[in-house]
Amino acid sequence: MVNKLTDCYKLINGVRVPCVAFGTWKMPGRVAADAVKCALETGYRHIDTAAAYQNEEYVGAGIRESGIDRNEVFLVSKLPNDDHGYEKAVASCEASLKRLGTDYLDSYLIHWPVLVQNVDRLEEDLCETWRAFERLYNDGKLRSMGTSNFNIEHIELIKRNFSTYPMINQVQMHPQNPEEEMIAYCKENGIIPEAWSPLIQGQAFKRELLVEMAEKYGVSVAQLCVRFIVQKGAVPVPKSATPERIRNNADVFGFEISAEDMEKMATLRTYGRIGDDPSVPRTHQVVGF
């Protein structure tokens, strides 16, 4: 079990991944830069963005303005839906690197598996794209490579065609969608699971069970939900642009949720995930998670 914000998990290739990430979804311009700077000053060392968030330039600025050495930050971005395929994926990654102002990414993720434009040739499309990721990795542009919003069957399409496969899989994970099967699969295959929207996109604060549980442990609902992910052995990716909340979301190592209460929280699975299952084709217009 990790015990502090800078504790790390180790990827299958030996690269270390800080156990809590800072998310930047829906953070425009200077809001993103200031939030990233605050997060790094708080002690976060894992920053998550994506080309689709349209804030990479400012995320990069926030890292530089923090004064933290680039090699101390685990920086992640994601391939936009429009840029699947070998040549487009390579060019898209290069564009992200330029916007971020860095020579390399600590991890690069395919943002969404099934698209309207690839639904009839899914395996071929994902393989072409993964081949680009392998080239970027071998060229030193990526320290690791992974996926976002992939179901097990999507990862298996890559596994059966390549000797390399995703080292990270970032999925929607929270008490309403605890992803037990995915966590077990990741553990079995040496993949680090990450959890976007651990606060259920704000719905956590409306769940009476979580409010009562937070009161029991003397913590905020946000801290409770982030801790829930930590104890599941996944990397939570909370986000906030408010300094107080940024600090609060990181302060989750002073308490432990009992096994009984972990299962009680997971009974919220009856509410289910927010939005589409990753098997539902997306279009290029969809921005974000």
Give just the sign of the alpha carbon dihedral 177, 178, 184, 190: positive
- The pLDDT value given to residue 283: 75
Instruction: Give the CATH number of domain 16-270.
Output: 3.20.20.100
- The pLDDT value given to residue 289: 60
Is 53 among the residues known to form the active site? yes
* pTM of the model as a whole: 0.96
Q: How far apart are CA 144 and CA 64, in angstroms?
A: 22
Residue 51 CB-half CA count within 13 A:
25
Domain ranges of the chain: 16-270
Per-residue pLDDT of the chain (289 residues; tens, 9 = 90+): 899 999 999 999 999 999 999 999 999 999 999 999 999 999 999 999 999 999 999 999 999 999 999 999 999 999 999 999 999 999 999 999 999 999 999 999 999 999 999 999 999 999 999 999 999 999 999 999 999 999 999 999 999 999 999 999 999 999 999 999 999 999 999 999 999 999 999 999 999 999 999 999 999 999 999 999 999 999 999 999 999 999 999 999 999 999 999 999 999 999 999 998 998 888 754 545 6
Catalytic residue among 53, 58, 108, 137: 53
